[in-house]
Structure 1
Amino acid sequence: MAEILLFHHAHGLTDGLRSFADRLRAQGHIVHTPDSYAGKTFDRLDDGIQHAQSIGHDALAEVAHRAAREHRHATIVMGFSLGAAQAQQLAQDLPRIRGCLLMGSCLRPLALGGDWRHQVPLDIHIADPDEWVDEQALNRLTFRAPHARVFRYPDRRHMFVDRSLRDYDADAADLFEQRVDEWLGTVALPVDHRAAARAL
């Protein structure tokens, strides 16, 4: 079992992401879904991006750190597109984080003010091609995290994993979820709250 912080994409905390979190819970994981948009969701990606820009990078980063403080035993982070920066930031900053999964985006480690911690398992899932993924940033991150695994999903659209969006592709989403389950099986250990507290 894992305790997970899951950060949403630019559309917001959609029904599709809520359903994904519920499926993880049904497998015995504890999943927290911080909502950077305070309940707002957007059908159009451009509208979601505009809203995120109005909130600002610092405020989004604070949402991530506040969630980490509130859920002090969470040791796995997942980020979808916009939320990838939040997940990656925590993975780089917090010694207790022992697994990071990014979907639809990533950043150069230095863009987040630090470096990748080599002992943290990292999986990255991206549509191929995906205009929202910076290949140079991906190369920089995987150079600093040579153990990282990158999964590409040919001919899919950016957020193919979210069944509430137009990008959704059932076959690719099923494969993504299968890979997530397998990955969690390797990084998720029984939750020891005392050990997690010592790692803060």
Structure 2
Amino acid sequence: MVDVVLFHHALGLTQGVIAFAADLRAGGHVVHTPDLFAGRTFDTLEQGVQHAREIGFGEIIQRGARAVDGLASELVYVGLSLGVLPAQYLAQTRPGARGAIFLHACLPRSEFGSAWPKALPAQIHAMDADPFFVGDGDIEAAKALAGESADVRLFLYPGDEHLFSDRLLAAYDPAAAAVLQRRLLDFLADR
């Protein structure tokens, strides 16, 4: 059992994110779900991303950092799309991380430091034709990160959906999400 911090996607702390957290809890883990949007949720990615821009991406990261202030340092950070911002920041900069999982997004490692933390295991999951993951350069960042550290694994799934792991969205892909869930739970069990 590990303590997990799950950072939500650009739609906010939706029922789909809460259900995802419940799946991790069912695996025996303690899961914290900070609300980076202070209760706001959105129906479209465009609305959510616009809200994040209004807040500022730096502030999104800092809200994530403040959310873990009172928690032990031995955490696994999980980010869903926009939530990868604070998850990756904390994994790279807060000592004690036990692992990181980036779903649907990945930033260049240089965004938060000169090197990936030694022996920090991580997984990156996305669809191979996701227009955001591929079109915004996340796939290159993910491949580079996996290429520089043997502790980082990239998993690409066939398809073009972005938030395919959220079972309450039209983008949900049950087959890919089931494989992702198994890999994620296996990863957590090894921590």
TM range (shorter): over 0.9
Provide the aligned C-alpha RMSD in A: 1.4
Alignment partner of 1:8 is 2:8: yes
Unaligned runs of 5+ in 2: none
Rounded to whole Å, the distance in 1 between the matches of 2:33 and 2:152 is 24
Q: Deviations over 1:150-199 (max 9, x none)?
A: 11110141101001211111121111111111111112xxxxxxxxxxxx
Decide which of 143, 162, 168 is 2:166's aligned counterpart: 162
Letter in 2 for 1:154: P
* Paired residues, number: 187
Identify unmatched segments of 5+ residues in structure 1. 188-200
Instruction: Pick from 184, 187, 191 the counterpart of residue 180 of structure 1.
Output: 184
Which residue does 1:110 correspond to in 2?
Answer: 110
Distance 2:70 2:8 in 1: 17
Counterpart residue type for residue 41 of structure 1: T
Per-residue deviation, residues 101-147 of structure 1 (Å, max 9, x unmatched): 00000111111244210210011100111121222222332233233
Deviation at 1:71, TM superposition (A): 1.8
1:42 maps to: 42
Equivalent in the alignment of 1:18:
18
Alignment of 1:77-88 (within 5 A): 77-88=77-88
Q: Which residue of structure 2 lines up, in the alignment, with residue 63 of structure 1? A: 63
- Structure 2 residue corresponding to 1:152, chosen from 156, 163, 169: 156
Report if the CA contact (8 A) 1:8-1:82 is conserved. yes
Partners in 2 of 1:76 and 1:140 — Cα distance?
A: 21
Match of 1:140 in 2: 144
Give yes or no for contact 2:103–2:124 (8 Å, CA) kept in 1: yes
Give the secondary structure class of the aligned counterpart of 1:152: strand
Report the equivalent of 1:30.
30
Q: TM-score, normalised by structure 2?
A: 0.92
1:74, distance to aligned residue in structure 2 (A): 4.8
SS for the counterpart of 1:132 is helix
Percent identity between the two aligned chains: 40
